[in-house]
Amino acid sequence: MTPAAIIIVLATLFVQGVHSPQAHRPLLLAGPNVTPEAALDGEPVFRVVPRRRPAQFGPYRWLRLLKEIDLDPRQRSEIQRIVKDFGRVMGAFRVTHGERVKTLTRREREARTGGDGQLGVAERYELGELRGKRPKAAESLKRIWALLDHEQRQQMRQLLAEARKDAPRTSG
C-alpha cells in the first residue's frame, strides 16, 4: 500500500470516528435521549415558560393613584398638565402611526403563533423603529415624581406596591 493510500484510509477512518479519541469514551454530560414524542400527561416534557414581569403603570394610572395623596393645588394642576401633554403626544403618535403599528404587531403575533416564527427583516426593523418613536411614559412619570415631596413619594411608593400586587403580571 502506498503512503498516499494509507493517508486516505486513515483520514476516512478518522472522519467516520473509528479512530477518534472520543469514539470509545462515554459522553460525560450526556443526558437521557428525549424523543419528540416524549410527553407527560399529554404535555411536552420541555416547554418554554414566558417570563413574567410586574405590571407597569403609566401617567393615567398614576393620576388615579395620586388622588389618594394630599397634593396642593399647584401640584395637582401641574400633574394634570403633564398627563394631558402626554395624552396629546400619544394621540398624535396613534393618528400618525397607529394603524401601521397594529398591522405589524398583528403580523408579528401571527408569525409567532402559526407561521415561521418571525417577521421579515424589513418589517421587524420598521416595527422596532416605530416602537422607538412611541412617546415614553417614563419621561412624564419622572416629571410627576419630581413634583412630589418626600412624604408624598413614600405614600406613592406604597400605593404603587399595592397596585402592582393586585395587578396581573404580563409576559414579555
- Grid coordinates belonging to 24: 470509545
- What does the pLDDT read at residue 84? 93
Predicted local confidence at residue 133, as pLDDT: 92
Q: Distance (Å, rounded) from C-alpha 60 to C-alpha 140? A: 10
| Burial state string for 19-37 with b = 16 or more CB within 10 A and e = fewer than 16 | eeeeeeeeeeeeeeeeeee
Give pLDDT, residue 111. 80
60 near 79, Cβ under 8 Å? no
In this structure, what C-alpha cell is assigned to residue 117? 416564527
pLDDT (0 to 100) of residue 4: 76
Prediction pTM value: 0.58
Helices (H), the chain: 3-16, 59-66, 73-113, 121-133, 137-147, 150-166
Each residue's pLDDT, cut to its tens digit, for the chain (172 residues) gives 777 777 777 667 656 654 445 555 555 555 555 555 444 455 444 444 444 555 567 778 888 888 899 999 999 999 999 989 999 999 999 999 999 999 988 888 888 777 666 778 888 889 889 999 999 888 888 999 999 999 999 998 898 888 888 766 554 4
Bridge partners of 40, per DSSP, are: 43
The β-bridge partners of 53 are 170
pLDDT of residue 123: 86
- Residue 55 contacts residue 169 (beta carbons within 8 Å): yes
**What DSSP state is assigned to residue 51?**
P
Based on the number of CB atoms within 10 Å of its own CB, is 63 exposed (0-12), middle (13-18) or buried (19 or more)?
middle
Instruction: Taking each helix axis as running N to C, give the angle between helix 121-133 and helix 73-113, from 0 to 180 degrees, rounded to the nearest 10.
Output: 170
Residue 142, CA distances (Å) to 66, 71, 86, 153, 169 in order: 14, 17, 12, 12, 23
**CB neighbour list of residue 54: distance below 8 Å, 6 or more residues apart:** 164, 167, 169
